[in-house]
Amino acid sequence: MKEVILVKYGEIVLKGLNRSFFNSKLESRVRRALKSVQGEFYFDYAQSTLCLTPSDDADVDLAYEKVKKVFGIATVCRGIACEKDMDDIAKHLAENVNELLGDAKTFKCEAKRSDKKFALKSPEICAFCGGIVLENRPDMKVDVMSPDRVITIEIRDRQAFIHGNGEKGAGGVPVGSSGRAMLMLSGGIDSPVAGHMIAKRGAAIDAVYFETPPYTGEAAAEKVRTLAEKLTEYCGEIYLHSISLTEIQETLVSTCKEKLFTLLLRRFMVRCASKLGEKYGAGCIITGESLGQVASQTMQSIAVTDAVATLPILRPCIGLDKDEIVVRAREIGTFETSILPYEDCCTVFTPKHPDTRPDMAEILEEEAKLDVDALVERAMATDHYERLG
């Protein structure tokens, strides 16, 4: 039996005149996902479905898992390739009927003919194939309204395919079709989820981690690296930048009001992330903030941090509860790493009573005591990056 992977495109099929741009982006993302998989895959696209035909030595299981993580795909399924001949279709259907039906009690057959010259029309193909299924599995019932299983027979230009229900793909639009974003990636639960959500909407991701050596150590940096690695399974390559905020933190501690430490620090983070984003072609910054979650995420605090951004800040988790973010973190596989207990630079200097309703005038008064531009410039000079994925 020759197995194929059928990839049904998601919302990009609606993109009108831009469709070919999205299609080629998606195809290149799928090719990229398969790069490390053993074997060759032949690509054949028709009727918003990409058919991947593997070489004999290909690792189809791994390919299937990789493709499931590519954004822009509505459903993925494994199918059986046959000759465009009803006898061959019948033979494969009979041989694989149990796998195709699984534990279903009812089924229906559906036919798709992209080859409009094929001798049988769709209803005839369905009737014929339904008959084959019933012959081999007399316990089955046909239910055309709400069957447990749909067996689809696709007649294409070169060959025919038989497949059962597909699995949900990663959804969204292909990475790279919505520009580039700079993700502020801490070691926490929220920011990897935020990065995943915006990558799903087509942004290619770069990430920045702010560290404070020696207060934060190599273990914390390694944790962020692991999170970024995990994100590359969905986003493709990520340039992970690290910037030291040690001088800034120490200056804040020795010069400014304690209750404003966190917010002043966040303003420095956003200044640096903006500069970095601009330098590397990002159109926005992403953070994992959620409204009201902590003192620095009240509406007033957000206004104070936004004021120094030179790029728009996207906060996709803003309306999610912590437990909703946790569900997503588990789904994408970042949760277990995020809960490892290493110090983050925010927690090292957290004030006992942070200001939840900061006053902009007071913030500016505190910053007037500092040489903000010089501090930012020296922090930016510590930037170093590595390419992941």
Site residues (CB under 6 A) for ligand ATP? 184-186, 188-191, 208-210, 287-289, 293-294, 296, 344-346
Residue 97 binding partner per list Mg ion, ligand ATP, none, with a CB distance cut-off of 5 to 8 Å that depends on partner kind:
none
Identify the sign of the CA torsion 325, 331, 337, 341: positive
Residue nearest to ligand ATP (CB): 188
Closest CA to 136 of 80, 163, 98, 108: 98
CA dihedral 333, 334, 335, 337 (to 10 degrees): 120
Tell the smallest beta-carbon distance from residue 186 to Mg ion (Å): 4
Closest CA to 85 of 143, 128, 42: 128
Q: How far is CA 162 from CA 80, 203, 220, 367, in A?
A: 5, 35, 49, 67
Nearer to Mg ion, 154 or 344 (CB): 344
Of the candidate spans 79-87, 187-195, 291-299, 381-389, the one that interacts with Mg ion by CB under 5 A turns out to be 187-195
Nearer to ligand ATP, 152 or 296 (CB): 296
Binding track over 188-207 against Mg ion, x by CB under 5 A = x-------------------
Tell the smallest beta-carbon distance from residue 300 to ligand ATP (Å): 14
DSSP letter (8 states) at residue 283: S
Residue 296 binding partner per list Mg ion, ligand ATP, none, with a CB distance cut-off of 5 to 8 Å that depends on partner kind:
ligand ATP
Helix locations, the chain, DSSP H: 19-34, 60-67, 86-95, 97-101, 122-136, 190-200, 218-235, 246-255, 261-279, 299-306, 322-332, 335-338, 345-348, 360-367, 372-380
Closest CA to 172 of 69, 78, 263, 288: 69
Tell the smallest beta-carbon distance from residue 386 to ligand ATP (Å): 15
Tell the smallest beta-carbon distance from residue 125 to Mg ion (Å): 56
Tell the smallest beta-carbon distance from residue 191 to ligand ATP (Å): 3
Tell the smallest beta-carbon distance from residue 290 to Mg ion (Å): 11
186 binds Mg ion (CB under 5 A): yes
Q: What's the one-letter identity of residue 352?
A: K
Residue 75 binding partner per list ligand ATP, Mg ion, none, with a CB distance cut-off of 5 to 8 Å that depends on partner kind:
none
Pairing relationship of beta strands 49-54 and 180-184 according to DSSP bridges: unpaired
Nearer to ligand ATP, 53 or 262 (CB): 262
Binding residues vs Mg ion (CB under 5 A): 186, 188
